[in-house]
Amino acid sequence: MRRSRWRSGAIVGLTAAVVAGYAAITTTGASAAEALLSQGRPATASSTEAAGAYLASEAVDGNTGTRWSSTFADPQWLQVDLGSSKAITRVELNWETAAGKAFQIQVSENASTWTSIYSTTTSTGGNQNLTVNGTGRYVRMYGTQRTTTYGYSLWEFKVYGDDGGTTVPGGGSLGAQVTVFDPTMSSATIQAQADAIFKQQETNQFGTQRNLLAFKPGTYNGLNIQVGFNTSVIGLGQNPQDVRINGDITVDAGWFQGNATQNFWRSVENISLYPVSGADRWAVSQAAPFRRMDVHGDLNLAPNGYGWASGGYIADSRISGSEQQYSQQQWFTRNSQIGSSLNAVWNQAFVGVQGAPANSFPNPPYTTIGQTPVIREKPYLYLSGGDYAVFVPNLQTNSAGVSWANGNTPGTSIPLSQFYVAKPGDSAATINQALAQGLNLIFQPGVYHVNQTINVTRANTVVMGLGYATIIPDGGVTPMQVADVDGVKIAGLLFDAGTTNSANLLVVGPTGSSANHAANPTTIQDVFFRIGGSIAGKATNSLLVNSNNTIIDHIWAWRADHGNAGTYGWTVNTADSGLIVNGQNVTAYGLFVEHYQKYEVIWNGNGGRTYFLQNEQPYDPPTQAAWRSGANGYAAYKVADSVTSHEAWALGSYCYFNVNPSIHSDRGFEVPVNSGVKLHNLLTVSLGGNGVIDHVVNTTGGPAQGTDTVPSYLVNFP
C-alpha cells in the first residue's frame, strides 16, 4: 500500500507459464492400511536429460506437470528413499511418451543389493498401476529397454504400502499462541494479558509471532483490547451476541505517527461490542477483516487525528450507528446492516448492505448494490456444549443484511475431533496424511514451512488458519492446491512466498477443470498472499482459480514495497500476477491486489463478476523498458480478449512510481470491447503526481496525473 504523504481525508491464453502449478494427488483410504509412501521423499536417478532440469525429485513431488527424464541410453534407474523399511503393496507409474518397455521394480534395504518384485518386457507406457509384494527402504524403477529413441521419462513415480498402521489423530490443543479468556476472570487480568501481546505485536510487522485472543461466551466489562500485527480477536459464541464486551477493540496508528496505511494483518470476529465513548476505532488498511461484529454505536475507520488510511473490509456485521469512513481512501462492506455512512474519499462500495447510502458514484463515490448474488459466510471457531467446533454457514443467494438477524446463522457444525490441528513444525506429509484420512484442517497460530504441496482432494473439506497462520513454501513448491471438487472452504491463511520461486501459492482446481459447482462452490475467504517484505520471496502468480463457480471473498495479494532489509526491490521479490481466473462463473468480493510486475489480475473465464478492486501498480519500475518493452506498463485488471461475458463494479487503480516518477502506465483496466463485458464505477489516481496513468479503460478516460491527487473517474464502459 502507498506510503506517500498527503492527507486523503482532505481530498474527498496469457497464463500458460503459470497454470501448470497444479497437479492432483492420488490418495488411499482413511486409516492408512495402504498409504502413499514416496511423495516428497529423497529421490535419485542414474542421469537426467539436461543439467539442472528433469530432476529425480520431480517424479515424487505430486505434480503431474513436472517430470524426471534420463539421458538417451540403457540402462537407467530412478529410486526413492522411504526413510525406513516398509511393506510395499503397489506402485503407480505415470509415463511421459518416452517410457520404459522393459523394466523392473526393485526393493533394497541398503541401496546396493536389489530384489525384483515386478518385471516386464512388453510395457507400452501410459499410466500403470502395479500390484506388488515386497519390503525395503529403497524402491526403484530399473529400465533396460525404451519405447522410443529418447530416454526414460516419468511424470510421477508413486510407491504405496503399509505405513505401520498409524493414523493421524483428530482434535487436540489449539496451541500456546491461543489465549482464551473467561468471563469469570478479572478485567485487570484480561487487560494485562491483552496489553502484553499488543506490546509484542504493535510494531512487529514482519516477525514470526502469531496470536489469537478468544473470548468465551459471557459479558466482559471495562476492556480496551488493542490489536497489533498478526493478531486475531474472536468471540467463541454461536452468534455475536453471545460474547458481550462493554468496552473497545481498538486499532490506531500511534506507532506510525498517525498513519494507518500499514495497519495490516489483524482481524476481529463474532463479538457484540458496546464502545465506552459510543464509537469504536478500527483504523486499518489491507488484510484486516471485520466480520460478524455487532457494534452498538459508531464505527470510526480513521486513526486518531484523521490521518491517512487505506482499508478495508466489513462483512456480516451490524453497526447501529454510523460507519464513519473519514480518511479511508476506499472501503468495501458486504452483507451488513448500518445506521448510516459518513464521508467518502475515492471508492466506497456496499453490496447487500441494509442502510447503505444510495448509489451516487462519483459524487460522492458510493457504489451500492442491493443484494449479494451468491455467498457463503466464512467458517468460524466456536464452543458447542463446552467443546470446540467449527460452524460452516450455508450458501445464500440474493441476500442482504447479516446472517444471524433471525437467530443462529443457518449452517452445519463440525466438531474439532473431525479436524487435524496442525502445529508449527508439522510436515506437509503429515498434513496430507490427515487430509487423506478424511479430516478437515486447522492451523494453529504460527509459521509453517512446507517442502511439498498440501493437497486438498476431498469435497467439502474445511481448511482454516488461526491467528494469521502463515505457510511458506520451500524449494519452489506450490504450497497448497485444491482438487476440482465441491464445497471446499479455505479461510484465514497467509501464504508467504519462499526464496525459491513458486509457480503459484494457492491453486483451486487443476488445469482444464470443467465441473459445475454452482450448487456448492469452493470459497476462498480472508486468504492473503505476500511476496517479499519478511523474506526475499518470489512467486510467478499468487492465486490461480481453475474451478468453476469459485467464490473469492476478501483477498490481499501483495508484492512488498517495504519490509526487512534486502527483501524487496524490482529484481528481488519478483512476481508477475496476483490473481489469475480461468474458471467459469467465478465471483469475487473485495479484491486487494497490489504492486505485481505484469497484469495484476487476469480474468480468462466467462461469466466472471468482481465487486470492488483496490489496486496499486508497482512502485518500483526503474525504467519504462524494464517494466515492459513496447508498451507503457501493464493494466491492473485484464479481461482476456476471448472473454464474452464479464461484469465488474467499483474498481480503482493507483500509481505511485516513487523510484522513477517519469513512468507512464497506458491504462488502469484493459478489456475486450463487446456487449457482454461491462465495467461500472471506475477510477484511476496518481498519488502525489508520482507518475501518470494515461487512460482509465483501454484508451478511454484519464489521464490521472498531477500533485493534487485528483481521481479520473469513469461511470460505465462501454
Count of CA atoms in the C-beta half-sphere (13 A) of 189: 9
pLDDT digits (tens, 9 = 90+) for 480-508: 999 999 999 999 999 999 999 999 999 99
Place of cell 467446533: 389
Q: What pLDDT does 7 receive?
A: 28
In this prediction, residue 123 carries a pLDDT of 96
Rounded to the nearest integer, the mean pLDDT of the chain is: 93
**Banded pLDDT at 8 (limits 50, 70, 90):** very low
Hunting for cell 471446499 — which residue is that? Answer: 488
Q: Is residue 156 annotated as a catalytic residue, yes or no? A: no
Using the CB atoms, write b or e for 71-93: b if 16+ within 10 Å.
beeebbbbbbbbeeebebbbbbb
How large is the C-alpha radius of gyration of the chain? 26
Q: Is the pLDDT of residue 605 over 60?
A: yes
C-alpha cell recorded at residue 2 = 502507498
- How many other C-beta atoms lie within 10 A of the C-beta of residue 576? 21
Map grid coordinates 506450490 to a residue.
478
The kind and range of the H/E element at 652 are: strand 646-655
Residue 64: the pLDDT is 83
Band (pLDDT 50/70/90 cuts) for residue 19 is very low
Distance CA 458, CA 455 (A): 9
Judge whether residue 14 has pLDDT over 60. Answer: no
Q: Which triple of cell numbers denotes residue 230?
A: 498478526
Closest by CA to 315, choosing from 14, 148, 526, is 526
Q: In 330-386, where do the E strands start and end? A: 330-342, 347-354, 366-369, 372-376, 380-384
Give me the mean pLDDT over the 352-374 stretch. Answer: 98
Rounded percentage of the chain residues whose pLDDT exceeds 70: 95
The DSSP code for 433 is H
Among 22-26, 29-33, 379-383, 496-500, the minimum mean pLDDT is found in 22-26
Residue 23: per-residue pLDDT:
31
DSSP 139-151: EEEEEEEESSSS-
Distance CA 712, CA 718 (A): 16
Phi, psi of 23 (to 5 degrees): -150, 140
Q: Note the maximum CA span of the chain.
A: 82
The sign one gets for the Cα dihedral 42, 43, 47, 53 is negative
Matching residue, cell 465471483: 587
pLDDT-derived band at 690 (thresholds 50, 70, 90) equals very high
Distances (CA, A) of 186 to 221, 382, 386, 500: 9, 22, 21, 48
Residue 202, pLDDT > 70, answer yes
Distance between CA 342 and CA 344 in Å, rounded? 7
DSSP helix/strand/coil, 103: strand
State how far Cα 68 lies from the chain centre: 30
DSSP element (H, E) containing 428? helix 428-436
d(CA 254, CA 212): 22
Find all residues with CB under 8 Å of 145, minimum gap 6, and list them.
74, 100, 101, 102, 103, 121
Q: Which of 49, 269, 616, 670 is catalytic?
A: 616
- How many alpha carbons fall within 13 Å on the CB side of residue 412? 10
Give the pLDDT confidence of 77-135 residue by residue, as tens digits: 999 998 888 899 999 999 999 999 999 999 999 999 999 999 999 999 999 999 999 99
